[in-house]
Structure 1
Amino acid sequence: MTARIEPITGRYINLDIEGRSYRIYFEEAGSGIPLLCLHTAGAHSSQYRHLMCDEAVTDRFRVIAFDLPWHGKSNPPVGWEGEEYKLTDQFYVAVIDAFSQAMALERPVVMGCSMGGRVVVRLALEQGKALRGVIGLEGSDSPSPWYDNSWLESPEFLRGDFCAALVSGLVAPQSPNEFRWETLWHYYQGGPEVFKGDMHFYRTDSDYAQESSTIDTGHCPVYLMTGEYDYSCTPEDTLRTAERIPGAEAIIMADMGHFPMSENPAAFREHILPVLAKIADKD
């Protein structure tokens, strides 16, 4: 019998954020330039495990991914049972900032997908001089609703199988079946109403279109990478955002959906490796 240990280390960090204590789980692999990865709504950091196991990445980058509070192995705060989870723009950035500072990440690259791909636009706006660059996977600078908002009030959002079914169409038909189901499993695992709470940020509290044109890509390169099958953040949404940000580069990925790093890791690496090389070589 053979065994293979993956080169990923998982740990917990305790942070004070906006006056409350949070126990946050994170994983990392590799060494070099910090590459902070942000997961999608309703999911967790396991979406980046393939990237963390790719020596072509980890030879030059220290890949780090954390679970937002309420997600994955991160706890909600004490007293969560008496409140509604609702992710806001302010709290999302506060978590990212607190984690980055506690981990002493010096000029990291921040890569996020979906809601993570949206928040990197704000990070580039406000913190561009402190970053090596941002990569928005399935990212744009403003919401583009793709289903009826009334669904958010459905009691089915309490169920992981409903959340998985809701996003299943966002996986490209070319994605290998093994990784399609791995991606959907992340949604089966979600806590009650966590996906719904993330939708508050993604749908109503993340419009940066009026300010995105002021991003200085000379200090903070911006790469927007979207799958051609994504109907949540469409290629058109991404191209419009890139047109508003002087110097931003848009890459539309053929045969890919909304979860490139987990739904088709082999195809994704062909797109992400050249981008990472550009960032590393510029430093």
Structure 2
Amino acid sequence: MKTLVGGLLTAVMLIVVLAAVGWLALQRKDIPYDSLEAKYDSPASQYMDLGGGVRVHYRDEGRREGPTLVLVHGYSASLHAWEPWVRSLSSDYRVISLDLPGHGLTRSDQGYPAGRQGYGAVVDQVTRKLGVERFTLAGNSMGGGVAWEYAVDHPDRVEGLVLVDAAGWPRDGGGSVLIFEVLRHPWGRAVLKNVDTRPLVRQGLQSAYLDDALVTPELVDRYVELARAPGHRDILLGLQTGPRREATPQVLSKIKAPTLVMFGQKDTVIPATDGDRFAAAIPGSTLIVYPDVGHVPMEQIPDRSVQDLKTWLKAKVYAAVP
């Protein structure tokens, strides 16, 4: 009997030791900003100090005298997500893309209050500092939530609004993307804060893009590595529990700007029915639903989606602009 008990204790201790070793092996430290900037910024990259420890990474590209478009990325993404659109739009428009705090190459002090409302303030500060008074605002996913909230709060500044698989409607249950399921729980956030999330990130991207060929090792590296910038993980985890304004027909009915709603019919992150709800709630909006497309139409079908955007801009927002 003693031999059996001793053997069981030894086995338990071995399991604990192996688990601890495995846990330590998965730990990942922050990556310094200098290293990330050397790899992920571009000749178009610029930086702007907003005060409060926030230093925004942005790009201001295209036709300076043209109408201005401002592009806001989604959760855990970066301005890189808009590159296919920027290449196509730059001949006719001034295109500003930016990294929100906790994302990409934007720096912020420890304790930055994560939330869509604070992100709207960042959009407001950046555009004002660049001398842009009126613009069309586009956002994907969480960035779409930032965009529609900004349009509600600053109707005098928004000429047009583009919601690409936008967030905002209340959720009754979880989606099918594993990493978001884990992040909804305090224990999940605690476990994931300092470990290698590469397998979960890859699964999340495959769910978003639907096409495994688009989820390259370079794409996974970019998401994983930029999330390891100093302070980013605290902000990203805080966004799962931070305050947010939910979309309602009453709130969205205040939007007066011409609005384009784009949604992938097979979005597994935000259901395509939310696109119908946005279109029904925002007066005079235009809805485009893409069959066999997921959460990021601007990356999955860049040519088709940007052409639809150009057509809509010419018809609804800048019809009088040559």
TM-score (norm. length: structure 2) = 0.72
1:44 Cα deviation (Å)?
A: 1.0
With over 3 angstroms needed to count, the CA separation of the structure-2 counterparts of 1:209 and 1:184, relative to structure 1, is farther
Q: Distance in 1 between matches of 2:202 and 2:268?
A: 15
* 1:156 and 2:156 are equivalent in the alignment: no
Q: Could you tell me which of 143, 150, 166 is aligned with 1:139? A: 166
1:245 Cα deviation (Å)?
A: 1.7
Compare 192-201 and 248-257 and name the one that shifted more: 192-201
Match of 2:271 in 1: 234
SS of the equivalent of 1:128 reads coil
Q: Distance in 2 between matches of 1:23 and 1:247?
A: 37
With over 3 angstroms needed to count, the CA separation of the structure-2 counterparts of 1:184 and 1:199, relative to structure 1, is farther
The answer to whether the 8 A contact 1:113-1:137 is kept is yes
Give the 5 Å matches for 1:47-196.
Answer: 47-54=81-88, 57-77=89-109, 80=110, 83=111, 87-144=114-171, 145-146=174-175, 148=181, 149-150=184-185, 152-158=188-194, 159-173=196-210, 175=211, 177-178=213-214, 183-189=219-225, 190-191=227-228, 192-196=233-237
Match of 2:57 in 1: 25
Structure 1: unaligned runs, 5 residues or longer:
1-6
Aligned residues: CA RMSD: 2.6
Match of 1:4 in 2: none
1:172 Cα deviation (Å)?
A: 3.9
Quick check: which has more Rg, 1 or 2?
2
Q: Distance in 1 between matches of 2:43 and 2:238?
A: 29
Where in structure 1 do 4 or more consecutive aligned residues deviate above 6 Å? none
Structure 2: unaligned runs, 5 residues or longer:
1-41
Q: Distance in 1 between matches of 2:197 and 2:94?
A: 31
Match of 1:15 in 2: 50
* 1:39 and 2:73 are equivalent in the alignment: yes
Q: Could you tell me which of 247, 253, 258 is aligned with 1:221? A: 258
Match of 2:246 in 1: 207
- Could you tell me which amino acid in structure 1 is paired with residue 240 of structure 2? M
Percent identity of the aligned residues? 21
TM-score (norm. length: structure 1) = 0.82
The answer to whether the 8 A contact 1:179-1:264 is kept is no
Instruction: For residues 93-151 of structure 1, give each alpha carbon's deviation from its aligned partner in whole angstroms, at most 9, with x where no partner exists.
Output: 11111111111113111111100111211122121222111101111542334254227
Compare 85-94 and 63-72 and name the one that shifted more: 85-94
Q: Distance in 2 between matches of 1:250 and 1:183?
A: 29
SS of the equivalent of 1:170 reads helix
Report the number of matched residues: 262
